[in-house]
Chain A
């Protein structure tokens, strides 16, 4: 567990205000300590995550690699505040989120986190453009025209500039994957979590998507965490975190 440290009062701050250990917290976008997660009920209850600790820095691209079923997606869901750990803590930009209310976690998801699911989830009845505009609409910081322009530019960044008005159902698997990536970038989140973003893509498009994510990390100082089975992609990341049986191994 992290210890209180940087409080000027000298008194231990209340548990919910625990800040991460001192030292360069400014460029740490996301941190977790000793995450545990059990899944399943009764007999089938499995200890999936066994003490995961991790931090993602701004401007850095981190790859999580490991065999199927080792807990990569589970970790990402916890970090993306879509699921709650059974034990351990998560900080988003120095704010402890693992114990906070559903409303706070939802707001943090909308503002600070862009998520790309392993199985490209798009809203079926909506066009590519609408899908990308969806998070912006919730955040409500741009006008309709600004949102549309930004969504169109993101779609052309992932190579779909000519298919902005296609319905999700009229796109191929790889195209849907790229729309999902554009959508994750929509609100310029500080943290981008991508679960096998290049899983469905050919070498060329994998390259395009990966380059885009790297460029964003460098240019905007976003922290990118991605799960991949592709060694080429992993090797081009700033950091590789191998995982086995619900733990990072070094």
Chain B
């Protein structure tokens, strides 16, 4: 063990109580930092999983109208970035996807694409024997759609079964809220009306995505059925795309737009306001909790400054025996380091155990997602950032007294004239 560290350990015991106070401040600061980050990012993560499980990573819709700018259609080169931007501004869209199966093949050629599903969408009025309500029909090919959503899990959280749906040509899947409003249970029949068309269906399953705006409006049915009900014999309303690497969605969407000449929107673009809200929450939690670290840093500074004053005689003795200014500074830096190391390790332990405890705490959340207990996200980065902020605060608190101690003149101290 280095001599300076040995001396620091003894100095530490000189002010045990205030050292313990600073230490517990660091423990709580780092611990709560970890817990709040685990929670906020846990809920964000859960939200992202939910939106990927319902609306997919990328949605392809609306053909880009190329005729406005013949330049674009002929592939003529652009003179400047400004012209590209101008072209983009003036872009016109034609609703829907005209040749969905061609598009599907093209999409599957993107390396990051893990699933593609064609959706034909339309508004209907749903009649049960008790009530009626407006709803949206989603015509899908079941297996394709299972590959781009969590529909399977959502049905198992509700009632009925996918098999039931698969084997029933007139079967539909309905969100829990809508089923409740219409007072329908699995096996009941219902009538869907679109324009002049009116058909009878059987409720094969009830799904629960947890997202209120979905569970109260969406009705899934087989693609062919939807085409005839909605009278959309060709084309698709949109194509839902799932990705292997969700973080690449914006780049992929950009590329798809260029290659396929259709509007492509990534989940990040679609949910930007929610994602920003989560982000703001996370940062504000970090800042709030960092004040605990900051305050314990101030306490630490105070304690170390006190130790310097108390130990001036010892400092003079050490200097007289050949200990350099640097040695003296290091002793106080060691004091800070010891508190930092113990504090962050305690903080990790506290953070990890509270995070674990909180993740088991039951809550009932519905609305933007469906959660039955506190959501936490385990990430090494919460620990790293918590430790770094404690390190900055504690080391700043240690360096100032350390420099002061190093500047002391042994002669002045021994004569008793050091200030």
Interface residues of A (CB under 8 A from B): 39, 73-74, 77, 80, 82-84, 102-103, 106-107, 109-111, 115, 117, 121-126, 134-135, 137-139, 183, 187
Contacts and interface: CB of A to CB of B under 8 A. Distances in A.
Given A80-B320, A124-B14, A135-B321, 6 more contacts: A82-B319, A82-B411, A84-B411, A106-B319, A110-B321, A111-B322
Interface in B1-41: 3, 6-7, 10-11, 13-14
Contacts of A122: 317
Contacts of A110: 321-323
Nearest to B321: A135
A139 B322 contact: yes
Given A39-B415, A125-B14, A138-B3, A103 B322 contact: no
A123 to B, nearest CB: 5
Contacts, number: 75
Nearest to A102: B325
Contacts of A77: 411, 414-415
A109 B320 contact: yes
**Most interface-central of A80, A102, A138 (chain B CB within 10 A):** A138
B192 interface: no
B314 A138 contact: no
The B contact surface, by secondary structure, is: helix
Contacts of B6: 137
B410 interface: yes
Contacts of B411: 77, 82-84
10 contacts: A39-B415, A102-B325, A106-B325, A107-B324, A124-B14, A134-B321, A135-B321, A137-B3, A138-B323, A138-B327
Contacts of A39: 415, 417
A125 B10 contact: yes
A138 B412 CA distance: 22
Nearest to B313: A121
Contacts of A135: 321-322
B321 A138 contact: yes
B66 interface: no
B403 to A, nearest CB: 14
Contacts of B3: 134, 137-138
Nearest to A124: B314
Nearest to B9: A125
Contacts of B7: 123
A138 B323 CA distance: 7
B399 interface: no
Nearest to B410: A82
B294 interface: no
A102 B324 CA distance: 8
B325 A121 contact: no
Given A82-B411, A123-B314, A124-B314, A107 B322 contact: yes
